[in-house]
Amino acid sequence: MKEYVAETGGRYTYSDDILNLQELALSMSTIFDGCSDFIISGCTVEGSTISPGYVWLGGKVRRFEGVTDAVFPYYIYESNRHESVVYANEVNKRGRTCYLCAAGKTVPTTADPVTGKIPAAIEVRADYAPRFIDKFFGRYAVLLETPFQRQTIKKDLVLAGMFTANKEINSKTAVSVSGENGYSLKGIVKSDGNASLGAYLNGLLVNEIVIRTDGTFSFMKQGKELARVTGDGISYGTSLSDNSRIGAIHIQGCDIYNTQDVTDEGTIRINYYGVEGGGTKFRDFAVYDGKLFLTPIFKVIGKSATAQVNGLFSVHSAGRGIDLCNTAYTKDDPKLQNTLSWRDSTGAVIAAVGFDTTDSYRFVVRNALGDIVIAPLGSVDIIGTLKVNGKSVADTYVTIDAYTKGMAGKVDKVEGKQLSTEDFTTEYKRKLDAISTGGITEGGTGYVTSGAVAEALKTKLSADQNLRDVVDKGAARTALDVYSKPESQEVFLQISEGLQELVRLTADEVNNLTPEQAQALKAERQAAVRATLDAEKGGTGEQKLTKTSNLSDLADKSKARRNLEVYSTTEIDNMMAGKLGTDSAYQGIIFTSEMRDKLNNIETGAFAYTDHEGKSHAQVEGYVLTSAIVKELKKKANWLLDGYNSTELATIAKNLELYTRTGADGRFARMENLFQDYINYLVAQGKSSAQAQTILREKLNLLSKDEIVKDYLRKDAKLTDLVLGSPEAQRQVCRTLGAAFAEEYQPLLIDTGWMQMENSGQGTDTRNLFVRQIGSIVSIQGEINTAKRDGSNWGGVIAMIPNKIQPPKYSVRCTAANWNDDHKYNRGSSFTIYGGQRKLQLYERGFYNVNCQLNFTYFV
């Protein structure tokens, strides 16, 4: 850059000095390069006057002389020209270019003589004009005050200090907080509307929390959902916790226990509820051994109410043993039934111990497979009657005493004599014949046997038993119309109990009840007893008032007045002290509660408006002030309320660059007529309907229906409307579609699938011999028995080829043999299918009733 210097003594001025000054001036304007047109200074608007000033217009700094009668919008546009000066030899040539500006209501549409382009212009409105502060500083700096609602910074903005915003921060991409070592925290809104707050490492997402539009939260790790929070709760795949509590259930270490129930009946219930918390389906409970074994060690089957133990059932206790309880019947009912059973793998009962019938009190020990062995260290003591096959041994076997006593009176046999002491004479025989038998129930004079007496005595009661030997005590009590001791305890009250039986709660009644519920049930029963006895609850007499005291025995009279909602004499006197008498009562309109509510419902409303900060406020329903209505009406144009005449409508439409309804109807097509209005317009211009349709299709770049039918294929025709003139054209289409040309490829081979060989007679068995044909290849595979044949061992038929399979054109054969070190035991058989036949024949010797594996494969 050259700087002009002039010292004392006089100095010549050269053209280079002028060029240097011009270069200095032009270099200053390069500051505005890249900026759009704006006002540098001046050009302020006051009414219809625009003051003089400087503008940056068309890439040059220009001076605007101002104007006093501007009609807005007003335009300052460039006006350039060349000026001629006198050169040497009196020749006029271009000596300078003048970059000026002019102003007006419109911008000239002719090209500028210097630039050859439409002049650039600055629009000046009554409320805004582009100025230096927003077009220059607004391009390179952040402004404290700007005439626009927002300022856009096109590149990154880095603040060294703390950033504070008095309003919300809005980002269209993401809000990030960067840390050290490449870590950052970024919040974004995804394309699906879900918000994400994620942790990133070097720009890659590591973990994130997703806030979904349906109100749920998701915790993600590298794209995988770890947990989700919904209205139904928290769902997650894995939980790692040393201590967890869900409702009343507490899990700590290896322990699960109930923490809320403070009674001795605290319970953990498993599978109380079924599907979806209801009771529609049964549930099972299973415990395994931890070794991935399919069978559980312990299983509770809900449907059959069965507890199943698939292992050793070992009871370790201090003498408590195993208790089997029938919950349906008591010991007085023969329907009480409970057994301990042994079953095999199919479920069949092989042994049982217990009460096995519903019509008696029989207790059985049954072994369906073998003996029952009782092996005590000492003796086996049986209390009661011992029976064999239902018959008492006393009726079957003789006791030692009876045998000894009977044998004492026997007579020994003597040779030559019938009896040793006396001979049995005919007289004795007649005497024995005269003795006849009788019956205990029928009476008579004959004798009865001890067995009959014993049987009869079984149904009799013994005097020394005092009715203890009654078989059915319940039936006996019914016959005598008496109560048993337990029944009398249930029916009658004991004097010593003092009516406690009427209010006492049993264990079954308080089961599953809270202490408060049990106490309420007992109080209800006590109240019922008091009502029957016409008695009062203990202590209530002391709480009652005496009639003769006229409420003077109230303990707390102030509280009683509050309960009765009445005032005391003192309170009434205090309240009435400042009141008027009845002779001075108010005779006007009484202000009622309805009037008060009506006044309370009168609220001030407001019209919708935008405040000084640009924030929009919605309309508020209610009563508005007259000033607010006047202010709102000032925003309306009276003509919009009163209406326009046709001339005014045309003028307004022209000023607003709008079409009236008549003009729009004549110029634009109606939606319901589609393009018919344009066709009608062309026909009115002298075109035919076909020509009009062709012009419309050309404008829309469309084909006619005839052209589409002629040149394009239909989808539903499946290429049947494709006309191909030569095989080469057909091959080209197949290559385009990636299909095979039929003449160049082998047709699809027939495949019968595996079929069972047919039998040739009743003696053949081809259940395991199969055949299949694929194209010209037939394969027979499987197994036959050499004894299953139709015919002899020399040419017996063992199978037939089905009709769907083609037989071999030429004979085929395969063999099967057993090999042994002793060659004389080597035996075998051959199997043959002769050409053109379907019979599979065998030829064997010493190879009878042997299973052979066959494999035939032949071409047809």
Position 322 confidence tier, pLDDT thresholds 50, 70, 90: confident
Give the number of other Cβ atoms within 10 Å of residue 251's Cβ: 14
Helix (H, G, I), strand (E, B), or coil: what is residue 213? coil
Is pLDDT larger for residue 272 or for residue 532? 272
Q: Is the peptide bond prior to 808 cis by the omega test (within 30 degrees of 0)?
A: no
User: Distance (Å, rounded) from C-alpha 741 to C-alpha 3?
Assistant: 88
Instruction: Examine the pLDDT at 140 and tell me if it is beyond 70.
Output: no
Position 382 confidence tier, pLDDT thresholds 50, 70, 90: confident
Tokens of 847: 């190879």
Looking at the chain, the whole-number percentage of residues with pLDDT higher than 70 is 87
Instruction: Examine the pLDDT at 664 and tell me if it is beyond 90.
Output: no
The DSSP bridge pattern shows strands 338-343 and 349-355 to be antiparallel
Q: What is the pLDDT of residue 266?
A: 87
CB 94 within 8 A of CB 86: no
Mean pLDDT of the region 27-52: 85
* 287 Cβ neighbours under 8 A, 6+ residues apart: 296, 297, 298, 299
Helix (H, G, I), strand (E, B), or coil: what is residue 266? coil
Position 180 confidence tier, pLDDT thresholds 50, 70, 90: confident
Q: What is the pLDDT of residue 336?
A: 75
Distances (CA, A) of 24 to 28, 30, 61, 136, 314: 7, 10, 14, 21, 111
Angle between helix 676-684 and helix 689-700 axes, rounded to 10 deg: 130
Q: What is the pLDDT of residue 540?
A: 64
Mean pLDDT of the region 686-704: 80
Is pLDDT larger for residue 127 or for residue 605? 127
Q: What is the pLDDT of residue 832?
A: 94
Is pLDDT larger for residue 511 or for residue 103? 103
Instruction: Examine the pLDDT at 422 and tell me if it is beyond 60.
Output: no
Question: What is the total residue count of the chain?
Answer: 860
Instruction: Examine the pLDDT at 642 and tell me if it is beyond 80.
Output: no
Give the number of other Cβ atoms within 10 Å of residue 200's Cβ: 19
Tens of pLDDT, residue by residue over 581-617, are: 666 666 667 778 888 877 777 777 777 777 777 777 7
The pTM (predicted TM-score) of the whole model is 0.32
Helix (H, G, I), strand (E, B), or coil: what is residue 633? helix
Position 5 confidence tier, pLDDT thresholds 50, 70, 90: confident
* 494 Cβ neighbours under 8 A, 6+ residues apart: 501
**Lowest mean pLDDT across 137-141, 394-398, 430-434:** 137-141
Instruction: Examine the pLDDT at 77 and tell me if it is beyond 90.
Output: yes
Q: What is the pLDDT of residue 288?
A: 92
Is pLDDT larger for residue 87 or for residue 435? 87
Q: Comparing C-alpha atoms, which of 805, 809, 808 is closest to residue 752?
A: 805
Looking at the chain, the whole-number percentage of residues with pLDDT higher than 90 is 15
Q: What is the pLDDT of residue 300?
A: 92
Distances (CA, A) of 382 to 26, 340, 363, 470: 137, 22, 14, 21
Position 443 confidence tier, pLDDT thresholds 50, 70, 90: low
Mean pLDDT of the region 188-205: 85
Q: What is the mean pLDDT of the chain?
A: 80
Angle at 656 between CA 655 and CA 659, to 5 degrees: 100
Is pLDDT larger for residue 209 or for residue 14? 209
Is pLDDT larger for residue 550 or for residue 672? 550
Task: Please give the backbone phi and psi of residue 775, each rounded to the nearest 5 degrees, phi first.
Answer: 65, -120
Instruction: Examine the pLDDT at 750 and tell me if it is beyond 70.
Output: yes
For the chain, how far is it from start to end, CA to CA, in angstroms? 105
Mean pLDDT of the region 224-229: 87
Instruction: Examine the pLDDT at 254 and tell me if it is beyond 80.
Output: yes
Handedness of CA 582, 588, 590, 591 (dihedral sign): negative
Q: What is the pLDDT of residue 197?
A: 87
Tokens of 446: 């004959």
Position 156 confidence tier, pLDDT thresholds 50, 70, 90: confident
Tens of pLDDT, residue by residue over 615-634, are: 777 777 777 777 777 777 76
CB 35 within 8 A of CB 56: yes
Instruction: Examine the pLDDT at 121 and tell me if it is beyond 90.
Output: yes
Q: Comparing C-alpha atoms, which of 208, 158, 206 is closest to residue 187?
A: 208
Tens of pLDDT, residue by residue over 788-821, are: 999 888 889 999 999 999 999 999 999 888 777 7
Q: What is the pLDDT of residue 500?
A: 74
Mean pLDDT of the region 226-243: 83
Residue with tokens 């051959």: 830
Position 444 confidence tier, pLDDT thresholds 50, 70, 90: low
When mean pLDDT is compared over 679-683, 754-758, 849-853, the highest value belongs to 754-758
Distances (CA, A) of 629 to 233, 602, 640, 675: 53, 17, 17, 48
Q: What is the pLDDT of residue 522?
A: 80
Q: What is the pLDDT of residue 402?
A: 81
Helix (H, G, I), strand (E, B), or coil: what is residue 294? coil
Instruction: Examine the pLDDT at 644 and tell me if it is beyond 70.
Output: no
Instruction: Examine the pLDDT at 576 and tell me if it is beyond 80.
Output: no
Mean pLDDT of the region 831-835: 93
Q: Is the peptide bond prior to 73 cis by the omega test (within 30 degrees of 0)?
A: yes
Q: Comparing C-alpha atoms, which of 335, 372, 334 is closest to residue 353?
A: 372
Give the number of other Cβ atoms within 10 Å of residue 757's Cβ: 25
When mean pLDDT is compared over 153-162, 327-336, 372-381, 825-834, the highest value belongs to 372-381
Instruction: Examine the pLDDT at 390 and tell me if it is beyond 70.
Output: yes
Mean pLDDT of the region 723-731: 77
User: Distance (Å, rounded) from C-alpha 178 to C-alpha 185?
Assistant: 6
Q: What is the pLDDT of residue 740?
A: 76
